[in-house]
Amino acid sequence: MSAARPSDTLPRLAFRLPLDPARLRRVRDRIRDYLHGLGCPSETIADVVLAAEEAMANAVRHSGAADELEISLAFDGRDLIAEITDHGRGFDASRLDLARPPDPTAPGGRGLFLMAALLDELQVQGNGGVAITAVKRNARREPARGYAKRRWLAPAEAIYHDARNVALLEEIDEAVVAYDWEYRYVHLNAAALRHAGRKREQLIGHSAWQAHPEAQDMPQGIALREAMELGRFAILEYHVPTSGDWVETRFYPTTFGVTVVSREINERKRKEFEREELLEAVRDGEARLALASRAGAIGLYEWTSDAAYWGNPEAYKLFGLDPEMPVTFERWLACVHPDDRERLAGRMAELVRLAAARDEEFVDRDEYRIVHSDGSVRWLEAVNRLERQGSQAVFRGTVCDVTERRRIEEALRASEASHRDFFETLQEGLVHPLPVIAGLELAMRSLPAHSPALVGGDFCDVFRLPDERVLVVIGDVVGKGMRAAALAETVHSALRAFATIDGDPGFVLGKTNDLLLAGEPDDAYVTVLVVVLDLDSGEARLASAGHPGPIRIGGDLSQMVEPLYGPPLGSFAARYPTTTLLLEHGQTLVLFTDGVTEARSDDMLFGEERALGTVSVLADESVQDIADALASAARSFSDELRDDLEVLVLRWP
């Protein structure tokens, strides 16, 4: 890998990507992020993105290339140099006249003419593929005062060098790392340096691949590249062999590159592993026996298909029977609690039938209540193992008292139900009833996490602004429990208050972020998406504080909308850029929290692609049906919902 770039060089954007239309759509959005972060005016961004999109689309449709498409953007002073190369069939570039308008009836030839009109210089080489080199003059504004002192940092990156914000980052426990467009380290806080095991000067200005070449093909490296190249938010959990820690890492695409936030989750993973071990122990007969032996004495007994019983003294004690008297099936069954007696008699008859029909050994387990002569009721756990002795079936069994365990389980279930009622009541306060707005169809679906302890701070709201536009907000506090719910309500109230001052979504997020940073230092932060919709024109303006963009469906369209991302609220000072899109009548926006995309089945996440696939076929359904279908799909996919989820659907009819 190359060494750190010269102090006067801006980051270069360079990707190698397969000719996949879905990925190229995301690359287009990341090109827009790159140019925005380096101070290009919106008109220049629009021209360059359109020209690059035309070149990439031509490569997908016509090149027939097997190799990846190469894309590079770099600045020479204020001039932008763009290079796009495919390795397909190519054409005779010597016959190309970019100054002559193309024949409108011809099947092709318009793309390069359009690019030449949008850009100031265009060179095309067509031997063995197509290599396009283009120049856009004066693509950048003049740098801000003091910019030269910040070496090669772009203006948007300078937020990491504000003393107050650096101090905030140093105080939080999470490791925060910021990368520029060339994967160079822009900032690492103290926690990140501890994880890296290196000094700051050994990393700042150097590429992540130079510091950790082995990481490029690891899940963390792949997630970093996809966040950089495709603007794809990701969350990973993985084990760090060098430290022995379990880490949760989130990858946030930004207008200056990527910000990565990591936190140690050893305690949570320990509890998860203990839970899995306990479940495995419960599934396994020998492990159940070991647990029972630690809980108390075990009774051993034997019975045959002709219902003759005998056992050790502990078995007689647990059954509440006199060891001096012979045990018959009827005598034993008389000790069973009346509510369990009929079921257990049928179960024993079924075991005898199975024993006669099967030659192989098998194990049967059951729990039932026994009533002792003094009236006390005890829960017993019995494990019967069938063995064959010639033509006769012999059942050898173990029995232990599990009354205390059942009592604890009942208490836990009652406590969990009580806590769930409390948290669901609390969460209902965060999900505000949808208003009735003429000219807009609205629907919402909420699902809580499976455990009350996991209930978090998801919230959403829709309301009219003073200028009659409609503001839609959806958000998620990173954290669980009472604290997350309280922070969610604080953020929701602030968003409403600032929206009455100025309905610009970037202003609303920026002011709310300032409010959180001005309070007591906190390690919690909030992802929020704000959409402001003009019901007269269909214009929707979006701003995101680290929150996934919505899905847009309707007609022949089905796509993820990628806004310009800012950092989560409460993390550090920032400005929040806005993205504008124009809805057509009948189109629908589907907003959701990460409880949808991060619904987990084993090691797989539900993800954006499944979310897009679920709603893409529902464009003609009602908005409530769409909300219900996406929430149900995420819940069905997941073994257990580990996070709340919110789905909010709006349609311009």
Instruction: Give me the residues paired with residue 257 across strands.
Output: 254
For the ranges 187-191, 270-274, 494-498, 557-561, which has the lowest average pLDDT? 270-274
Question: What pLDDT is recorded for position 155?
Answer: 40
Higher-scoring residue by pLDDT: 297, 216:
216
Question: What pLDDT is recorded for position 582?
Answer: 93
pLDDT in tens, 107-162: 566 777 888 888 888 888 876 778 889 999 988 875 533 333 344 444 434 444 45
Q: How many whole angstroms separate alpha carbon 118 and alpha carbon 50?
A: 8
CATH topology of domain 13-136: Heat Shock Protein 90 (3.30.565)
Structure tokens at 170: 């140093």
In the chain, domain spans: 13-136, 147-264, 296-401, 427-651
Q: Binning pLDDT at 50, 70 and 90, where does residue 446 land?
A: confident
What's the average model confidence in pLDDT over 418-426? 55
Q: What is the DSSP letter of 418?
A: H
Measured from the Cβ of residue 241, the count of other Cβ atoms closer than 10 Å reads: 7
Contact assessment for residue 494 and residue 459, using Cβ atoms and an 8 Å cutoff? no
Phi, psi (deg, nearest 5) at residue 495: -60, -45
What's the average model confidence in pLDDT over 323-336? 80
Whether 296-401 and 13-136 are alike in CATH topology: the answer is: no
Question: What pLDDT is recorded for position 647?
Answer: 95
Higher-scoring residue by pLDDT: 354, 277:
354
Residue type, 611: A
pLDDT at 293 over 50: no
pLDDT in tens, 480-500: 556 777 788 889 889 999 998
Residue type, 180: D
pLDDT in tens, 194-205: 877 788 888 888
Measured from the Cβ of residue 132, the count of other Cβ atoms closer than 10 Å reads: 23
Question: What pLDDT is recorded for position 419?
Answer: 56
pLDDT in tens, 6-50: 334 688 888 887 777 667 777 888 888 888 878 888 888 988 988
Instruction: Give 427-651's CATH code, choosing from 3.40.50.2300, 3.20.20.140, 3.60.40.10, 3.30.70.360.
Output: 3.60.40.10
Q: What percent of the chain has pLDDT over 90?
A: 26
pLDDT at 624 over 50: yes
Structure tokens at 248: 């949760």
pLDDT in tens, 345-383: 888 888 777 777 766 677 788 899 999 888 899 998 888
- Contacts with 415 (C-beta within 8 Å, 6 or more apart), sequence order: none
- Contacts with 548 (C-beta within 8 Å, 6 or more apart), sequence order: 233, 529, 592, 594, 597, 608
What's the average model confidence in pLDDT over 263-286? 71
For the ranges 79-88, 121-130, 350-359, 583-592, which has the lowest average pLDDT? 350-359
Q: Binning pLDDT at 50, 70 and 90, where does residue 1 land?
A: very low
Question: What pLDDT is recorded for position 2?
Answer: 37
CATH topology of domain 147-264: Beta-Lactamase (3.30.450)
Instruction: Give me the residues paired with residue 578 across strands.
Output: none
pLDDT in tens, 520-578: 666 678 999 999 999 999 999 999 999 999 999 998 889 999 999 999 998 888 899 99
- Assigned superfamily of 296-401: PAS domain (3.30.450.20)
Question: What pLDDT is recorded for position 146?
Answer: 35
Q: Binning pLDDT at 50, 70 and 90, where does residue 215 land?
A: confident
Q: Binning pLDDT at 50, 70 and 90, where does residue 67 land?
A: confident
Q: How far from 306 is each of 228, 301, 335, 387, 618, CA to CA, in Å?
A: 73, 15, 19, 14, 62
Question: What pLDDT is recorded for position 584?
Answer: 92
pLDDT at 388 over 60: yes
- Taking the complete model, does pTM exceed 0.75, yes or no? no
Question: What pLDDT is recorded for position 292?
Answer: 41
Radius of gyration of the CA atoms of the chain, in A: 32
Question: What pLDDT is recorded for position 307?
Answer: 55
Beta strands in 161-298 (DSSP E): 175-179, 185-188, 234-240, 245-254, 257-264
Higher-scoring residue by pLDDT: 284, 276:
276
